Homo-oligomer: A and B are copies of this chain.
């Protein structure tokens, strides 16, 4: 019942892309350095986000990955499904039919279980579809408008500290 590490990685990527200067796509190789995985693996991951419609990518010089829609419209459900496919808890291996070879009652039990677990799935789908990346980022940074920077050059601390200095 654990989500895969891929979901955690996807979340990190979204944070990077959401705070990336809007004009500049972020190269996946840069992300791979930050999350400490190989460039080729990071491309696999970002690809999943692209396929899901969360991110978009452009090849070529100064290309890279950027968000395909505003953070308000990116939900935790999107991220989970991008990495793992649809939420389906029931491990439907057909065991019940094999164990109770009596067709009628076995089939019936199978359906009851499918229904029970599908309801569990729905609880998660409804919940996670209401948690947006915007919610998390806003709560995390404690500000309405996200700081942006170019992750190729700067660190987040630089930007945030600079903002504090400006206020003084």
Residues of B within 8 A of A128 (CB): 120
Residues of B within 8 A of A2 (CB): 88-91
- Distance between Cα atoms of A2 and B140 in the complex (Å): 29
Closest-CB distance, A98 to chain B (whole angstroms): 7
Q: Are A112 and B141 interface neighbours, CB within 8 A?
A: no
Residues of B within 8 A of A155 (CB): 102
Given contacts A1-B88, A89-B1, A124-B124, contact A15 B109 (CB under 8 A): yes
Q: How large is the interface on A (under 10, 10 to 19, 20 to 34, 35 or more residues)?
A: 35 or more
Given contacts A100-B156, A127-B119, contact A12 B88 (CB under 8 A): no
Residues of A within 8 A of B (CB): 1-5, 7-9, 11-12, 15, 34-36, 76, 80, 84, 87-93, 95-96, 98-100, 102, 105, 108-109, 112-113, 116-117, 119-120, 123-124, 127-128, 131, 136, 139-141, 155-157, 160
Top 7 A-B pairs, shortest CB-CB distance: A102-B157, A123-B123, A109-B140, A12-B99, A8-B95, A3-B91, A5-B91
